[in-house]
Amino acid sequence: MHVPDGFFDAPTSVATGLIAAGAVGFSLQRANREIRETGPALAGLTAAFVFAVQMVNFPVGAGTSGHLLGGALAAALVGPWSAVLVMSTVLLVQGLLFADGGLTALGTNITLMGLITVLVGYFVIRTVLQVLPKRVGSVVPATTLGALVSVPVAALAFTGLYAIGGAVDIPLGKLATAMVGWHILVGLGEAVITAAVLSAVVATRPDLVYAARHLQPDLVLVDADGNSSTVSPDRPIAAKPTGRTLGVGIAATLLVAGVVSLFASAHPDGLEFVGARLGFDGAAKDSAVAGSPLADYGVSGIGNAQVSGALAGIIGVLVTIAVGLTIAKVASLRSSRADKAA
């Protein structure tokens, strides 16, 4: 999954680098209050967890395995902005401490795995939560769906990036099909693990789930004389309704991703379908070697192989974010004006 140096051309790497830097800066600002309340330690531990879990492989089928990316999960647990920071931290440590993922490709990796999975995942979570009953438990199916969707979308973004900045022309329609098809399977695994993790957290510490903070029931407190009273639970960080901003951003992302993929399948195709299939299956099979979880970081790197497809979306995402942020800005200006008028 981790894109190495030189995989995409220089402009693409620079563009995604700018997107990543902007996203991290923006997230730092947005997550500032959360991090002051819960401490950087919590974010650091979440990052260490994501790092460790990315080393655990699960079987995807056809003798191959995948591993958790954790974007949607992190978004549900610590909120979207902290999650972007967590995922970026993981990628930075992998790049600098473990030489995994090129330094010039760091922006690409953060954009694909840190930004897209988190934002898409969180958008799905918020949307689904609107529909489901207002209970803490609803966050489990919502996040499961978020995890399922986020992985193929990241794969699509990778294809989009490849269309723009790939070093070699390969039939994009086939690339998109192979990437997305493959990552739907990986997304299924991601969804199952995400569901299990969230169920465990909701069962033991429901107050920890950021996406469900607003769904917590009130507390009953018994005082020293045995009288009970109802108090509202300690809610250090109420989930802020960032839904609209985020929603617009994601809608734009999906739109652009969709357009890119349409463009991709319309691309002239000089290759036999079977060849592509063979090629990608070959790539996939190799990774099956890495069966044992956490055997060694090097080996787990191979575990990434089958996922090797999943790379990053470049300019499409840049444009997407720019469009999304602009729309969100306009929307929030409008709504604040409307508030004043009312």
Residues 26-85 that bind other proteins (CB under 8 A): 28, 31-32, 35-36, 38-49, 51-53, 55-56, 58-59, 68, 77, 85
Burial 150-169 (b: 16+ CB within 10 A, else e): bbbbbbbbbbbbbbbbbeee
Is there binding between residue 320 and other proteins (CB under 8 A)?
no
Rounded-to-integer distance, Cα 254 and Cα 256, Å: 5
H runs (alpha helix) in the chain: 10-38, 40-53, 71-78, 80-97, 106-109, 117-131, 139-165, 172-204, 243-266, 273-286, 297-303, 315-341
Binding-site size for other proteins (CB under 8 A) equals 117
CB 183 within 8 A of CB 152: yes
| 13 part of the interface to other proteins, by CB under 8 A | yes
In the complex with other proteins, the residue whose CB is nearer, 125 or 307, is 307
Residue 110's contacts (CB-CB under 8 Å, 6 or more residues apart) are 16, 20, 23, 24, 87, 88, 91
Q: CA 204 → CA 85, 199, 258, distances in Å?
A: 25, 9, 39
CA 338-341-342 angle, 5° bins: 85
Looking at the Cβ atoms of 241 and 275, the one nearer to other proteins is 275
Stretch that binds other proteins, among 110-118, 126-134, 224-232, 315-323 (CB under 8 A): 224-232
Residue 276: CB minimum distance to other proteins, A: 5
Residues numbered 155-194 forming contacts with other proteins, rule: CB under 8 A: 167-171, 174, 189, 192-193
Interatomic CA distance for residues 49 and 51, integer angstroms:
5
- Collect all residues with Cβ–Cβ distance below 8 Å to 147 and sequence separation of at least 6: 71, 72, 73, 121, 187, 190, 191, 193, 194, 195
Nearer to other proteins, 234 or 339 (CB): 234
**Shortest separation between residue 236's beta carbon and other proteins, angstroms:** 7
- Tell me whether residue 58 or residue 263 sits nearer to other proteins (CB atom): 58
CB of 41 to other proteins, least distance (A): 4
What does the per-residue mask of binding to other proteins show for 109-148, with x meaning CB under 8 A? ----------------------------------------
CA 116 to chain centre: 5
Among 124-132, 245-253, 265-273, 327-335, which window interacts with other proteins (CB under 8 A)? 265-273
Rounded to the nearest 10 degrees, the angle between the axes of helix 172-204 and helix 71-78 is 40
Within 10 A of 41 (CB to CB), how many other CB atoms are there?
A: 9
Of 178 and 248, which has the nearer Cβ to other proteins? 178
**Closer residue to other proteins in complex, CB, 71/102:** 102
Among residues 134, 236, 334, 335, the one that binds other proteins under rule CB under 8 A: 236
Q: Which residues pair with 222 in a beta bridge?
A: 228
Q: Is residue 12 involved in binding other proteins (CB under 8 A)?
A: no
By CB under 8 A, the residues from 271 to 310 that bind other proteins are 271, 275-276, 278-280, 282-283, 286-287, 291-294, 296-299, 301-302, 304-308
Q: Does 86 bind other proteins (CB under 8 A)?
A: yes
Q: Does 198 bind other proteins (CB under 8 A)?
A: yes
CB of 48 to other proteins, least distance (A): 4
Among 22, 141, 181, 216, binds other proteins (CB under 8 A): 216
DSSP state of 313: -
Q: Which residue stretch of 144-152, 179-187, 266-274, 330-338 sits at the interface with other proteins (rule: CB under 8 A)?
A: 266-274
Among 92, 161, 211, 246, binds other proteins (CB under 8 A): 92
Cα 31 to Cα 76, 253, 264, distances in angstroms: 14, 22, 36
